[in-house]
Amino acid sequence: MRLEPVANPSAARRLGLPALALVATLGVAMGLALLAGANPLAVLGQIATGALGSKLAILETLNRATPLIFTGLAVAVAFRAKLWNIGAEAQLYAGAILAVVLGTGVLGSPWVLPVSALAAMLAGAALLLGPVLLKTRLGVDEVVTTLLLNFIMLLFVSYLLEGPMKDPMGMGWPKSPALIPEARLPRIVEGLRLHWGFALAIIAAVVVWVIQTRTTLGFEIRAVGQNPEAARFAGMPVNAVLVKTALLSGGLAALAGWSEVAGLKGHLSSDLSPGFGYTGIIVAMLALLHPLGVIVTAIFVAGIFVGSDAMSRAAGVPTYIADMLMATALLFMVLAILLTRVRVVRG
Amino acid sequence: MSAVIDILISASFWAAVIRIASPLILATMGELICERAGVLNLGIEGIMVIGAFTGWMAVYQGLPLWGGVAVAMAAGMMFGLLHSTLTVPFGLSQHVVGLGVTLLATSSASFAYRLMLPEVTSPPKIAPFQPLNVPGLSDLPWLGDALSQTALTWAAFAVAGLVAWVLYRTPLGLAVRAVGEKPAAVEAQGLSVTGLRMGAVIVGSGLMAVGGAFLTLSAFSSFFFEMVNGRGWICIALVVFGAWKPGKAVLGAILFAAFDALQIRLQQTPLGAALPYQLFLALPFILSVLALILMSRRAEVPAALMVPYNKGER
């Protein structure tokens, strides 16, 4: 077999194939439910109700979507330039650390929130800068270095929480002291359990979208991603563009950790992120790297996770079904997107 | 300092080094085969998890230990088939597909574990491989202790030798290496680029899974969710460190294992107690990054690594 480009893909092809990928994922979900001895349709229903069935469920889904929007944006921005930032998990924790460092009494109102957000972004950006400079200067593959940094960062967080950042009132639990009230993100609507981090995530998506579509940097990022050689030939400072992309990407990922600490948890613990950095890759790919699409896919992915938790308690299907479905959706989707542009021919 | 020397000359230290190196050697050989054929396999971390799980579960269900190894290998090859189908004929991004395979394999293992053992709080143990008694060798004073290893460790070194032999001494190995350098030339010889690359990824993934199975069948006798813990990513660094050559990669794995074995022992010395234990645990990852930096200037990367091949395209 070989692949042949499709000259002008029809609308049916461009929309039908991604839709088919989602349907196929649903099929896998039903298969897994059967395997677990549950009623497939009931399982799908319970996931949907668990995610969206009540005001409480919807708020939980939106809360869960907040860090995923940030990490999804971080990945989307980087992947657009073919910068393979798999280190959003580490950058997230960098942001979370800064939220604690600056939010436990060093700074007061009104400076603590803006300053700690900015510092968090700088920390996340700095963390990605290393791998990117290694890539541009020495040609070291950033996939491996950013992955390895995730492990180093988690151990560093563990060290902080058992050492210099340990909460003396924590009853031996490795967690940081609580943030002061001024350092906490308020709720968007009083009485509703949804914090300003969600609104900031939406704003961040819009800002990234404006950068990508309305600025020179956005144009350069796309050009470098499509063809670095051509971009270099056209006189574009390719390495400088990659560094700027990295700063943006690392900063966005750090905001995920910052908003989880300042908005949701109020302290840092080593289970702050159940892999938000990695799930961000799925969020970004499902959104076809579109910043506004990231909002939609992050809420979708968050819904699957929240819904699966609820379903698992009721139907007894292991909650890991959510992770399996996300990985399946990712693989189906990249294949579907390819097939919108090419067709398989014999020979 | 003398504490370090005492450690370095003890037979138990070298026994640990060889033990720790074994799964790394198996998985590194798997990754090396894939990359020599031109495919970066980031599924390695998840494939090691699925190997660790399936091998252990097969033995727990009553299969003999070697049966467990075979099941792990088959499971790894299935994921290799998935990876290579998407990356070779379809030419999809090896980064995205690899990470997708890792996520799918890892979550499949967790899902299946919970499905098959819904109630358990601590995973059941199996009777793992025992150190082999090699006549003549095992009686030697120092060497006998250092080489008191399980059959799976001996197999790991044999596999490394076999991989080196096939890659450099057989027509098949020549074709695999060529397909990672200049696929068009291989096609011109009438060989199938797709077949060679898919075959390399499938076989390589099988070896990665056996590397994972080493952890449950030879090292720990139980399965834990986080047990692979970045070893797959370290193996990718080891392939670079070994300049894509089996012999150097084995030496890299041994060097790496030596640091790992040393840090565990240093933690118990007065110096080690004064430092945070997380620093010691981070050492393998820090070393991997340093290895990548150190080797970066040497351009020995297979020329067609990560370049998909589409027949008729120039």
Q: How far apart are CA A56 and CA A63, in angstroms?
A: 11
Rounded to a whole number of angstroms, the distance from the CA of B298 to the nearest CA of chain A is: 10
Tell me the DSSP string of B6-58. Answer: HHHT-HHHHHHHHHHHHHHHHHHHHHHHHHHTT---TTHHHHHHHHHHHHHHH
Contact between A324 and B104 using a beta-carbon 8 Å cutoff: yes
With a cut of 50, which residues of chain A have pLDDT below it?
none
Among all residues of chain A, which has the CA nearest to that of B234?
A: A148
Contact between B236 and A144 using a beta-carbon 8 Å cutoff: yes
Helices (H), chain A: 11-35, 40-52, 55-80, 88-103, 112-133, 142-162, 196-214, 216-226, 228-233, 238-259, 276-286, 291-315, 321-341
Q: What is the pLDDT of residues B196-252, one digit of tens each?
A: 999 999 999 999 999 999 999 999 989 999 999 999 999 999 999 999 999 999 999
Which residue of B193, B281, B292, B301 is the best one to mutate when testing the A interface, meaning the one whose CB has the most A CBs within 10 A?
Answer: B292
Inter-residue contact B163 to B208 (CB < 8 Å): no
Contact between B285 and A281 using a beta-carbon 8 Å cutoff: no
Alpha-carbon distance values, B80 to A330, B29, B112, B204, B209 (Å): 17, 14, 19, 8, 10
- Count of other CB atoms within 10 angstroms of residue A290: 17
Q: For residue B39, tell me if it sits in a domain.
A: yes
- Please report which confidence band the pLDDT of residue B1 belongs to, taking 50, 70 and 90 as the band edges: low
Which residue of A82, A152, A158, A159 is the best one to mutate when testing the B interface, meaning the one whose CB has the most B CBs within 10 A?
Answer: A152
Q: For residue B7, tell me if it sits in a domain.
A: no
For chain B, report the end-to-end CA distance as a whole number of angstroms: 60
Hey, which residues does A5 pair with through a beta bridge? Answer: A342
Q: What is the pLDDT of residues B260-289, one digit of tens each?
A: 999 888 888 888 888 899 999 999 899 999
Q: How far apart are CA B108 and CA A320, in angstroms?
A: 8
Burial class (CB in 10 A: 0-12, 13-18, 19+), B141: exposed
- Establish if B303 touches chain A: CB-CB under 8 angstroms: no
- Please report which confidence band the pLDDT of residue B30 belongs to, taking 50, 70 and 90 as the band edges: very high
The residues near A181 (Cβ < 8 Å, ≥ 6 apart) are none
Q: How far apart are CA B98 and CA B79, in angstroms?
A: 10
Q: What's the sign of the alpha-carbon dihedral A317, A319, A320, A323?
A: positive
Cβ contacts of B118 on chain A, cutoff 8 Å: 316, 318
Q: How far apart are CA A126 and CA A243, in angstroms?
A: 10
Rounded to a whole number of angstroms, the distance from the CA of B19 to the nearest CA of chain A is: 23
Which residue of A319, A331, A333 is the best one to mutate when testing the B interface, meaning the one whose CB has the most B CBs within 10 A?
Answer: A331
pLDDT score of A106: 87
Task: Tell me, rounded to whole angstroms, the distance of Cα B136 from its chain centroid.
Answer: 30
* Better-predicted residue by pLDDT, A316 or B78: B78
Rounded to a whole number of angstroms, the distance from the CA of A199 to the nearest CA of chain B is: 29
Q: How far apart are CA B54 and CA B48, in angstroms?
A: 10
- Establish if B312 touches chain A: CB-CB under 8 angstroms: yes
**Cβ contacts of B221-225, under 8 Å, gap ≥ 24:** B221/B125, B221/B126, B221/B127, B221/B128, B222/B56, B222/B122, B222/B123, B222/B124, B222/B125, B222/B126, B223/B52, B223/B53, B223/B56, B223/B57, B223/B113, B223/B123, B224/B123, B225/B109, B225/B110, B225/B113
Q: Which of B90, B110, B233 sits opposite A338 (nearest CB)?
A: B90
Burial class (CB in 10 A: 0-12, 13-18, 19+), B203: buried
Query: Phi then psi for B131, rounded to 5 degrees?
Result: -55, 140
Among all residues of chain A, which has the CA nearest to that of B83?
A: A331
- Establish if B101 touches chain A: CB-CB under 8 angstroms: yes
pLDDT score of A1: 76
Give the CA-trace dihedral at A276, A278, A280, A281, to 10 degrees: -170
Task: Tell me, rounded to whole angstroms, the distance of Cα A285 from its chain centroid.
Answer: 10
Q: How far apart are CA A322 and CA B82, in angstroms?
A: 20
Cβ contacts of A36 on chain B, cutoff 8 Å: 115
In this prediction the ipTM stands at 0.94
Cβ contacts of B285 on chain A, cutoff 8 Å: 148-149, 151-152, 155
Give the residue among A47, A78, A109, A71 at the shortest CA–CA distance from A260: A71
Structural domain spans, chain A: 66-279
Give the residue among A18, A79, A335 at the shortest CA–CA distance from B88: A335
Contact between A2 and B230 using a beta-carbon 8 Å cutoff: no
Rounded to a whole number of angstroms, the distance from the CA of A59 to the nearest CA of chain B is: 26
- Count of other CB atoms within 10 angstroms of residue A204: 23
The residues near B273 (Cβ < 8 Å, ≥ 6 apart) are B267
Q: For residue B143, tell me if it sits in a domain.
A: no
User: How many domains, in total, are found in chain B?
Assistant: 1
Contact between B292 and A141 using a beta-carbon 8 Å cutoff: yes
- Establish if B282 touches chain A: CB-CB under 8 angstroms: yes
Contact between B288 and A331 using a beta-carbon 8 Å cutoff: no
**Cβ contacts of A176-181, under 8 Å, gap ≥ 24:** A176/A100, A176/A104, A176/A267, A176/A268, A176/A269, A177/A100, A177/A104, A177/A267, A178/A104, A178/A266, A178/A267, A179/A99, A179/A100, A179/A103, A179/A104, A179/A261, A179/A262, A179/A266, A179/A267, A180/A103, A180/A104, A180/A105, A180/A108, A180/A112
Q: How far apart are CA A57 and CA B217, in angstroms?
A: 43
Q: For residue B88, tell me if it sits in a domain.
A: yes
Counting DSSP H helices and E strands in chain B, the numbers are 14, 0
Q: How far apart are CA A227 and CA A247, in angstroms?
A: 21
Burial class (CB in 10 A: 0-12, 13-18, 19+), B41: buried
Q: For residue B134, tell me if it sits in a domain.
A: no
Cβ contacts of A84 on chain B, cutoff 8 Å: 95
Q: What is the pLDDT of residues B104-133, one digit of tens each?
A: 999 999 999 999 998 888 889 999 999 988
Q: Which of A84, A134, A147 sits opposite B233 (nearest CB)?
A: A147
Q: How far apart are CA B16 and CA B10, in angstroms?
A: 10
Rounded to a whole number of angstroms, the distance from the CA of B147 to the nearest CA of chain A is: 31
Give the residue among B27, B30, B33, B31 at the shortest CA–CA distance from B197: B33
Q: What is the pLDDT of residues A167-183, one digit of tens each?
A: 888 777 889 999 999 99
Rounded to a whole number of angstroms, the distance from the CA of A259 to the nearest CA of chain B is: 25
Q: How far apart are CA B262 and CA A30, in angstroms?
A: 49
B248 is in which domain, residue-wise? Answer: 20-113+151-295
Q: For residue B38, tell me if it sits in a domain.
A: yes
Helix (H, G, I), strand (E, B) or coil at B312: coil
Inter-residue contact B283 to B263 (CB < 8 Å): yes
Query: Phi then psi for B230, rounded to 5 degrees?
Result: 85, 0
Contact between B111 and A147 using a beta-carbon 8 Å cutoff: no
DSSP A183: G
Contact between B93 and A334 using a beta-carbon 8 Å cutoff: yes
pLDDT score of B312: 62
Contact between B114 and A318 using a beta-carbon 8 Å cutoff: yes
pLDDT score of B313: 60
Residue B314 has pLDDT above 50, yes or no: no
Q: Specify the amino acid at residue B86.
A: L
- Please report which confidence band the pLDDT of residue B140 belongs to, taking 50, 70 and 90 as the band edges: confident
Residue A236: both structure tokens together? 């574009």
**Which range (A269-273, B142-146, B177-181) has the least confidence?**
B142-146
pLDDT score of A103: 94
Alpha-carbon distance values, A122 to A86, A134, A160 (Å): 18, 19, 19
- Establish if B90 touches chain A: CB-CB under 8 angstroms: yes
